[in-house]
Amino acid sequence: MREKPNEFSSSDDEITLKEFAAKLRFWWSYLISKWYIFLITGIVCGGVGILYAYLQKAKYTATLTFAPEGKGMGQLGAYAGIASQFGVDLGLGGDAFEGDNLAEIMMSKKIIEKSLFTEVPVDDYKILMINLYIQVNKLDKAWSKNPRLSSIKFNEKNERGPRAKDSLLNKIITDVRKEVSVSKIDKKINIFSVEMTDQSEDFAANFVKELTNNTIDYYVNYSVGKSRSNIVILQHQVDSVKNLLNGNIVQVANMSDININPTRQIVKTGVVRKQVDIQANGAIYVELLKQLEIAKITLRHETPLIQVIDEPRIPLEKIKLGRLKGGVIFGILGVIFCFFYLVIRRLLS
């Protein structure tokens, strides 16, 4: 059976559109009638934004970039790099300072603590980084109100003190770590960026430098520690054999002076023995010298190179909300909040 067309579909649609248009007119009229509320709210919130921008403490961002020398693996390393792009791990391993591991080491408690206890020049005097941080953040004034904390001092020896002193040190390290970020500039290139934001230009600029320097020192000592130990041992052996060889030469000379009778052969045996010792020690000395030179060449080859590209220079980039910008942002946010408040209140009523 053939269905009849819905005779009321067009009229229903027309009524719905009319109702929607009527609601739009109602809400438009309602909101327009509250224009003075929007105006007052915008002015008040804008004033709050200007006051907030005025009272806000300026912060400074210090940025340092450096490029660590990667320990290449030849052609196999190149194949491994290509394979990793397709999600294939050849299991070749890597240096402890490669990739994200370097950032983790720079952000470690050990490196940050060492950097805080580094003395740096500020104006016309030198000061520990941790004491500069305490002065900038006025922590000493807050501690002076507490009898347990008022006597706490930090010096370059970093001596462990009472439990309260260790707790304060851990708190400072945690707060400083939050202000520092270490990341690669680009995943395709091996250049790192160290960035710190602080309310003190001197602290931010000096801290990123000391953090990088201490990481480089730790990196070098970690990478060539075994080679340096071998050189120390070889140098000690070379010096010992050289002293022994010099002693044998002196003894041969003394024996030759004493044994002046050429007809007695028995007296020459001591000289012959010492000459044999000289030849043996001479051969050992030559071989040790070769090993020492090889070890020094190996040390120079294994010593990594970290090249600092850009260092922070004062004046640093200043981060502070402008008064006009603060007033506009707070004013717009206030108007938006007022809009939703009026709409919700009307719907609930």
Mean pLDDT of 135-141: 84
- What percent of the chain lies above the pLDDT cut of 70? 75
In terms of C-beta density within 10 A (0-12 exposed, 13-18 middle, 19 or more buried), how is residue 266 classed? exposed
Considering the chain, what is the average pLDDT of its residues? 76
Mean pLDDT of 130-138: 87
pLDDT above 50 (res 302): yes
pLDDT above 70 (res 133): yes
The pLDDT score that the predictor gives to residue 262 is: 56
pLDDT above 50 (res 33): yes
- 154-193 residue pLDDT tens: 877 777 767 888 888 889 899 899 888 888 887 777 788 8
pLDDT above 80 (res 327): yes
Q: Could you tell me the residue ranges of all domains in the chain?
A: 20-54+324-348, 57-320
More confident residue, 131 or 232: 131
The pLDDT score that the predictor gives to residue 333 is: 92
Mean pLDDT of 68-79: 49
